[in-house]
Amino acid sequence: MPRTRPFVQVDVFATTPYSGNPVAVVLDGADLSDEQMQRLARWTNLSETTFILPPTVPEADYRLRIFTPGGELPFAGHPTLGSARAWLDGGGAPRHAGHLVQECAAGLVTVRRSQDTLSFAAPPRVRTGELDDDHLKRIVAAFGITRERVVAHQWVDNGPGWAVLRLATAEEVLALEPDLTLIPDAMVGAIGPWPEGSEYAFELRTFAPGIGVPEDPACGSMNAAVGQWLTSTGAAPSAYRVSQGARVGRAARIEVGADRDGTVWVSGATVVCMRGTVTL
| Correct CATH for 133-259 of 3.90.25.10, 3.90.220.20, 3.10.310.10, 3.40.50.720 | 3.10.310.10
CA–CA dist 277, 244 (Å, integer): 30
CA–CA dist 141, 134 (Å, integer): 11
Residues ≥6 apart with Cβ < 8 Å to 177: 144
pLDDT of residue 16: 85
pLDDT at 116 over 80: no
Instruction: Decide if 86 contacts 24 (C-beta within 8 A).
Output: no
b (16+ CB within 10 A) / e for 141-166: ebbebeeeebeebbbbbbbbbbbbbb
CA–CA dist 221, 122 (Å, integer): 8
pTM of the complete model = 0.94
Q: Is 48 a catalytic residue?
A: yes
pLDDT of residue 115: 76
Domain layout of the chain by residue ranges: 4-121+267-279, 133-259
Residues ≥6 apart with Cβ < 8 Å to 182: 138, 141, 142
pLDDT of residue 202: 99
Per-residue pLDDT tens digits for 235-252: 999 999 999 999 999 999
Could you tell me the CA-to-CA distances from 236 to 200, 257, 262, 268 in Å, in that order?
A: 12, 10, 13, 19
Catalytic choice (48, 103, 203, 215): 48
pLDDT of residue 17: 85
In this structure, how many other beta carbons lie within 10 angstroms of the beta carbon of residue 120?
A: 26
The SS3 of residue 116 is coil
pLDDT of residue 143: 99
pLDDT at 12 over 90: yes
CATH topology of domain 4-121+267-279: Diaminopimelate Epimerase; Chain A, domain 1 (3.10.310)
Instruction: Decide if 157 contacts 127 (C-beta within 8 A).
Output: yes
Same topology, domains 4-121+267-279 and 133-259? Answer is: yes
Residue 276, φ and ψ in degrees, nearest 5: 180, -150
**Among 70, 18, 20, which Cα is nearest to 217's?**
20
Could you tell me the CA-to-CA distances from 224 to 88, 160, 198 in Å, in that order?
A: 22, 12, 21
Long-range contacts of 28-33 (CB under 8 A, 24+ apart): 28/52, 29/5, 29/53, 29/65, 30/54, 32/280
The SS3 of residue 148 is helix
